[in-house]
Amino acid sequence: MEFLSDYGLFLAKTLTFVFALLFLLAGLAALRQRQKQGGQGVLKVTDLRERFESNRLQLEQHILPAKQFKSEQKKREKEKKRLMKEGPEQELRTFVLRFSGDLRASQVGALREEVSSILSVARHETDEVLVCLESGGGLVTAYGLAAAQLARLRAAGLHLTIAVDKVAASGGYMMAAVAHRIVAAP
């Protein structure tokens, strides 16, 4: 009988140790995951003019007769040289942001950083911001903060357009309501 009580005590101690070890490992894994998510993100800036210019040239090359294509190309080169001599002009710039929301609007931190970056370089009289928004809605407090970030752009005098492709329900609609213009797919 003493053997069974000793064995039961040993088993209880072993199980307690194993559960404590598993609990500790799970806590460390959760902490590591949180650090990965909370780390500094990277702001990616892409100039789309070159890509669109290349696409236009390819289309014109296939559509226009060879002589007309060459003459159009020469005209563009002359115009480019003339503009270079005149000096830089204030061209229109459009900043494109993507916001794909979840229940807790977990991208709001990244949106805050993007908005701050844009506000630091934007020319208020010529630049505009396009936000591609997709959200099924979620917590009012989280989406209220996201809408406030977009309101910062509008308060700074930047023209704000929201483009909704699939859905902007509830909190997504709250964000879209801040914009000067909303463009949505039917």
The pLDDT profile of the chain, 186 residues, written as one tens digit per residue, is 788 888 888 989 999 999 999 999 998 888 887 766 655 567 778 888 888 889 998 999 999 999 999 999 999 899 888 877 876 666 788 999 999 988 888 889 899 999 999 999 998 878 999 999 999 888 888 899 999 999 999 999 999 999 998 888 888 889 999 999 999 977
The whole-model pTM stands at 0.65
Cα angle value 23/26/28 (rounded, 5°): 110
CA distance 147 to 27: 34
CA distance 166 to 169: 10
